[in-house]
Amino acid sequence: MQDLSRWTPRPRPTNEPMRGSHVMILPFERARHETALWEAFGSAQTNALLHHFGWPHMESATELGGILQDRNENGGFITCVFAHPDSGEIMGMASYMRIDERNGVAEVGAVAHGAAMARSSAATEAQFLLARRIFDLLGYRRYEWKLNNANETSHRAARRLGFTFEGVFRQHQVKPYGNRDTAWYSIIDKEWPVVRSAFEQWLDPSNFERGGGQKRSLDSIRKDILEKGS
């Protein structure tokens, strides 16, 4: 049994800047980011991209900024904005949420990537940096990813990133689109070293062909690490 006799509540996560090779993480500032995010998400296509969030329909960048501002001030969000490390182009966002410092639990949610970031090394590195802050810098025990069970894209992303499926809360919420069954995924602290090593190996430049294609997938790297350690 894990000895928690010396456990203490953990510091609350922040959205202080972090920089990787492919992405910068910046703290959300409405005046600076609402229009850039709206445009990165395709302006009129923003509602379709964020459909599974269950947010109210938005007609403008101002409405997107207002929702994010409200959730950061009143809803427990700590929103991180993703930018290109060289050009500064805003490419996406995610938020720490459902934060429980006493028990060392936090969720990453409201993850959205614009076209410039979708299915890219920047998207993977952003999630690595966010998780690294939770585990390595703050010492949390559990990191969650929850999603509308109907969102197959988010299921695939969670599994690819190393989260473990835990089950489905049926009829969990009523959203503007109707019923939401919520699927739960997590990474816990004892799993993080393998997940972290896989991220590091996948992001290494040697893992990419000259044209940019990956040589080995995150999943295959994790399996290799686990097999070598068994």
Domains and CATH numbers, the chain: 18-229 (3.40.630.30)
| Average pLDDT for 139-168 | 97
| Average pLDDT for 53-61 | 96
Q: What is the pLDDT of residue 7?
A: 96
Q: What is the pLDDT of residue 1?
A: 79
Residue 230 has pLDDT above 80, yes or no: no
- d(CA 155, CA 165) in angstroms, rounded, equals 9
* Distant-in-sequence, close-in-space partners of 4: CB < 8 Å, separation ≥ 6: none
The percentage of the chain sitting over the pLDDT mark of 90, rounded to a whole number, equals 95
Percent helix / strand / coil, the chain, rounded to 5: 40, 30, 35
pLDDT in tens, 3-17: 999 999 999 999 999
**From start to end of the chain, where are the E strands?**
18-19, 24-27, 78-83, 90-100, 105-113, 142-148, 164-175, 178-188
pLDDT band for position 210 (cuts 50, 70, 90) = confident
- d(CA 202, CA 214) in angstroms, rounded, equals 8
Chain-wide mean pLDDT for the chain? 96
Among candidates 187, 193, 151, which has minimal Cα distance to 168? 151
Token pair belonging to 103? 């028990």
